[in-house]
Chains A and B, each alone.
Chain A
Amino acid sequence: MTVAIETIGLTKTYGATRAVADLDLEVERGEVFGFLGPNGAGKTTTIRMLLALQRPTAGRARILGLDPIGHDVEIHRRVGYLPGDLELFPRMTGQHHLDRFARARGNVDGTLVADLVDRFQVVLDRPIRELSKGNRQKIGLVMALMHEPELLVLDEPTSGLDPLMQDAFEELVREAAAAGRTVFLSSHELDEVQRLAHRVAIIRAGNLVATDSVEDLRRGTPLKVEIRFRGPVDPAAFASLAGVVVSGADGESVSLEVTGEIGPALEAIAARDPVDLVSRHADLDELFKGYYRGSVGPEAIDAP
């Protein structure tokens, strides 16, 4: 069994609203998988169905080879979950939370908990209502990790964490992946996903619009080329080239977006006395926004 998460036609509707529609997803064991989308895209609903917190309207899911419906206890034993809008019991202290939930799980190594508390510098002796969002988030992370789960499902895990703690979190995710664990990472932090995830899925209005590695997704986007010439140039000379769009022009500078072969564009550039050229593919942030603006469309969907 090499698949950690598999969904086939997973669908959830609330009345007339389709929160998730025909979602087909496959996450390999041992990979860090980024799950991207803006608020209301269906990320959290998907996660809740994976964890048997909600029942799908249609379709099915398998987590670690098990159907969440009917195997929720076994799945919960092997999965660590950090909710997106983490809420803890306001009058209880962090220590009380960790003790209580460690006892309830029953298979928690106290040394590991102490190590996590130390790494995240968790404040344990004050009631939750007195803690900042970041400190509450750290307690949630320890609760998700304390039983060394095979699969980590983290919904906005670094929300509220300071940069040092974000680094600590990223290190932990890398360690988990190196130890062969699977990490399913739902996030708005595109830089973080770009750094951590082996593959990403982008979900829009409940529909999956792309699944691939970050590099392959970037390769599928237009190459952005910014050129400075020795003198003013007419951008129309580039606009007429196949696969080239002029995205900006200002006297001696021209910005192009090139899809497909770069050769004709380079020949046209070379003929006009260029003095500087910078080219790059879109980063995940631009890619993500592109999907949402529709400039990169569902037709670009890759099979998982």
Chain B
Amino acid sequence: MRLDVAQLDLSIRRRSLLWYAGGLSLYTLIVVAIYPALKNSASLDSIATTDPTAAALFGITGSITSPVGWLNANIYANFFPLVMLFLTVGYGAAAMAGQDEDGTLCLVAVLPLRRRAIALQKAGVMLLQASVLAAGVAALVIVGRSFDVDVPASTVISVSVAVALMGVDLGLVAMAVGARTGKRGTAIGVGSAIAAVSYLISSLAPVASWIKPARYVSLFYWSVGNDQLAKGVRPADWGVLIVVGLCAAYAVIIAFRYLDLR
């Protein structure tokens, strides 16, 4: 299959991807580099223990000063997924609805390609962008082991991939909404709202018993919210993240097939 649509979108997104990846990688490097200076700070740990609910809102559970706690509190439970979602939901909304609103999607749609192929190439571009972001974070966290952030490399890589998959899942939801409605704003709104609710459910589930049963509907729970950085990503986590992604990709294909282009 020719990948011209993917190359076209990648060339358009290249600059923003570099900024996202560069910025997040720099942030990650700073976080791991300052860990040795704070790993014995008792006052820092007391933040999580004195007000666990407020800490949970930031995705913090348990000790902040352990390597896993430090990475969760500063990268994996909040900032990394947030940047990932900015990238994937943003691209998901732009790739279909945004380009349709701009009037450029019809240039691609009149190429001798099936709409399914166009949709799949765009989904592939999203996966690639998420992978670049995750690779940058994973690489620098692994480098961070020389700064005493001692977490197994395999765990770092698998959790980073899980976050990437979560971002792709929600990005594809935004893409499907965009392909269904042709409206970029709606696509961003729905994708972001689902991500926000997903984050809140997963974050508050450990401290709010009435939310706990709902944690299974949160993609955060299946990627970083169930202590994956300490215990590894389980087969069920992979299963949920992959099945949701495949369902969302199928929704994109069906919605795009029936989209009336401008």
Contact = CB atoms under 8 A, between A and B. Distances in A.
Contact of A85 (B7, B11, B103): B103
B260 A76 contact: no
A104 B11 contact: no
A73 B107 contact: no
Given A85-B103, A143-B107, A106 B2 contact: yes
A73 B106 contact: no
Contacts of B260: 48, 53-55
A103 interface: yes
Contacts of A101: 4, 107, 111
A104 B110 contact: no
A88 B104 contact: yes
B150 interface: no
Interface residues of B, number: 22
Given A48-B260, A53-B106, A87-B102, A104 B12 contact: no
Interface string A24-58: 00000000000000000000000010010111000
Interface in B99-120: 102-104, 106-107, 109-115
B258 interface: yes
B111 A100 contact: no
Nearest to A104: B4
Nearest to B104: A87
B8 A100 contact: yes
Contacts of B258: 55
A73 B114 contact: yes
B242 interface: no
Given A106-B112, A143-B107, 18 more contacts: A53-B261, A72-B114, A73-B113, A76-B110, A83-B103, A83-B107, A86-B103, A87-B107, A88-B104, A96-B11, A101-B4, A101-B107, A101-B111, A103-B2, A104-B4, A104-B5, A104-B113, A105-B112
